[in-house]
Amino acid sequence: MPAVQDHITSRTPMGATRVADGVTVRFWAPAAERVHVAFGGAVGYRPRPQDELVRDPGTGHWTGFFPGVGARTKYRFLVQGRGGTGFKRDPYARELERYGYPDCDSIVVDGDAYPWHDAGFRTPAFSDLIVYQFHVGVFHAVDAQGGDIRAKRVAKLLDAVQRVPYLAELGVTAVQPLPVVEFQGEWSLGYNGTDLFSPEMDYCVAPEELGPYLAVVNGLLAARGAGAVTAEQLAGQVSQLKAFVDICHLYGIAVLIDVVYNHAGGGLDAQSLDYIDLPADPGPDNNAYFSAEGWAGGRVFGYGREEVRRYLIDNATMFLEEYHADGLRFDEVSVMDAKGGWFLCQELTEQLRRRKPGAVQIAEYWGGHRWLAVHRPPAGMGFDIGYSDALRDAVRATLAEAAAGAHVEVGIGRIGAALRPPWGFEHGWQAYQCLENHDLVLDADDHREPRLAALAGGGDARSWYARSRSRAATGVLLTAPGVPMLFMGQEFLEDKLWSDSPDRPDRLIWWDGVDGADRHMADFRRCVRDLIHLRRTFPALRADPIHVWQPGERVLAWQRWVPGEGRDVVVVVSLSESTADGFALGFPRSGRWREVFNSDYYDHFPNPWVRGNAGGVDADGPPRQGFAQSAVLTLPANSILVFTRDESLA
């Protein structure tokens, strides 16, 4: 007799779901002939009538209810198709057995096992986002004595969580780890996921190794007045990812999950969702979850099938609801669009917005009309924020010119053009801005770009030229319209390309440098921290309006303000190699303008030779550069200065 259908309705979730007295199961394999569930695991399993799921011929779903099955029970599907019989992992499995992957079981998860502490956290407004991107596997890991052990093993989520207080002190308002779902192998960038609902097991700690981490987690919780967790509550992979999000929230940091819906794999093994129903002649046209097209070594999803669209939307919803994520970064949406995913994107963004309207949706979209990503349907795909490379490319090109020496003409005006929001973007914050990211500064066989310090120094990443130009460039990013993103190590002048492999210790970001071994790194981190504080303090730097002008050679200035309120801020950046005394700059209003930031102060902090304006300037001079008044100021070499008339923050 097949599995009973108690508790099974049209609303029964996909996968294995705990209910009061057992587990419901729903599995999609439209062309399968029979499906059994091997509870207890696949090893030694023999099909039993009571384990057989019931097929809905209208949908291709297989369902059943299994009384008495509890949390942490292992299971696998035994699928009989026209091409044979074999085991399949649950595509919706929330967790996988730690050992033997990919020949491993799925695990029934208790969604309430982890005790959340983040009820008081509120996701930042989109315009308030300042994002920090990092890779879990190489970010941070130390032993009990504080020694760096990243070269010995893949770093874990519970290693990364130990840097949350550092990130909170830096001032970022969100973190964006590279993808954290299961992929083939021990290490990867993460964009080759195979089991999209399961946390990457190599980023998680085995129960027998949990002891030291439990003390660390409880220490972080206690520091924020939150209750402790037990080893049992922290033991699962799901719980460890939840603990990471929970602690970020307690320290005031939102979490954005990086998801990949343009393809799955490579490395799609025989027990994956690839050919889920075991067809007789596997080919490009009979793979239920995938189309005939490939991308990045994997398979492109079959966006035209309702169940595939539901799978991807369910995955995104899981992160927002079950993991309390504050938003999602969607990888290569341009590929999704090009390969038939336009309507999925519209359906996805609208459904997620209804479920959690405050969650930000960020599209990596490189199509010819960038505005299509951020316009609401039917004209666009409906994402909130879209990637922009204009400012990044302009700043990097200008730095490269400046690094060639004082005699070279520097086209700083290209930065001015890139400061304006991309065409068709309604708000400045809809542009996702960066100067470095995981793709750009990756040590790979194909061509990559140098890190900011190496680029700015023209070959000497620790020279005054590298330090001063990098401060100016980072200041541009953090005073520009858009949502700024920093890549790990950028905040402390890391100059090495990075690698996702723990076998490349020469490519790990150098925490010892910022922790005291390199005073220039520590000084630079202080500069970035204060720039972030500046952005968070002055609302004009997060508002839409901007007016840009070029008052001199290698000099650029811009005005930011809050519509209807004023609260003006003026930013001036110089890439000249000499200080300009008596520099005349137009200002939008007369009177005293406070100098609230001077990057020159951070070289050999506090710089005993700092050049600046003693706290402010008076805009009482003659008309200049289209303004009715001007001020005479000292403009340090390779610097960025910020002035304000925001009396509310005086």
Consecutive 10-residue runs of the chain (650 residues): their mean pLDDT?
Answer: 74 94 96 97 93 94 96 97 97 95 96 96 98 97 92 95 98 98 92 97 95 97 98 97 98 98 94 97 94 95 97 98 98 97 98 98 96 97 98 98 94 96 95 97 84 93 96 98 98 95 91 93 98 98 98 97 95 97 97 97 96 96 97 98 82
For residue 560, the model assigns a pLDDT of: 98
Q: Provide φ and ψ at 23, rounded to 5°.
A: -135, 135
What region, left, alpha or beta, does residue 260 occupy, with left being phi > 0 and alpha being psi -120 to 50 degrees? beta
Name, in order, each residue with C-beta under 8 angstroms of 558's C-beta and a sequence gap of 6 or more: 416, 419, 479, 546, 547, 548, 549, 570, 571
pLDDT of residue 317: 98
3-state secondary structure of 389: coil
* Sign of the Cα pseudo-torsion (619, 622, 626, 627, in order): positive
Q: Is 321 exposed, middle or buried (0-12, 13-18, 19+ CB in 10 A)?
A: middle
Nearest residue to 385 (alpha-carbon basis) of 126, 596, 580, 48: 126
Query: Under 8 Å CB-to-CB from 573, ≥6 apart: which residues?
Result: 412, 415, 472, 475, 476, 555, 556, 557, 639, 640, 641
CA 38, 93, 438: angle at the middle one, nearest 5? 145
Interatomic CA distance for residues 560 and 569, integer angstroms? 5
The distance from CA 570 to its chain's CA centroid, rounded to whole angstroms, is 30
Expressed in angstroms, the distance from the first to the final Cα of the chain is: 77
DSSP state of 514: I
pLDDT of residue 3: 66
- Identify the pLDDT of residue 360: 98
Predicted confidence at residue 130, as pLDDT, reads: 98
How far apart are the C-alpha atoms of 259 and 648, rounded to whole Å?
Answer: 41
Question: Which residues of 319-369 form beta strands (DSSP E)?
Answer: 327-330, 360-363
Q: According to the model, what pLDDT value does residue 649 have?
A: 64
DSSP3 helix / strand / coil % (the chain, rounded to 5): 30, 25, 45
Residue 128: Cβ-neighbour burial (10 angstroms; 0-12, 13-18, 19+):
middle
Residue 157, SS3? helix
**3 state DSSP class of 243:** helix
Instruction: Give residue 77's identity as a one-letter amino acid code.
Output: F
Rounded-to-integer distance, Cα 112 and Cα 425, Å: 40
Residue 583 neighbours by CB distance under 10 Å: 18
The pTM (predicted TM-score) of the whole model is 0.97
The CB-side HSE value for 137 (13 A sphere, CA atoms) comes to 27
Looking at residue 446, its pLDDT comes to: 65
User: Which pLDDT score is estimated for 502?
Assistant: 80
96 strand-pairing partners: 106
**Cα separation, 636 vs 581, whole angstroms:** 8
Task: Give the separation between CA 12 and CA 27, rounded to whole angstroms.
Answer: 11
* Burial annotation 417-446 (CB, 10 A radius, 16+ → b, else e): ebbbbbebbebbbbbbbbbbbbebbbeeee
Contact of 241 with 45, CB cutoff 8 Å = no
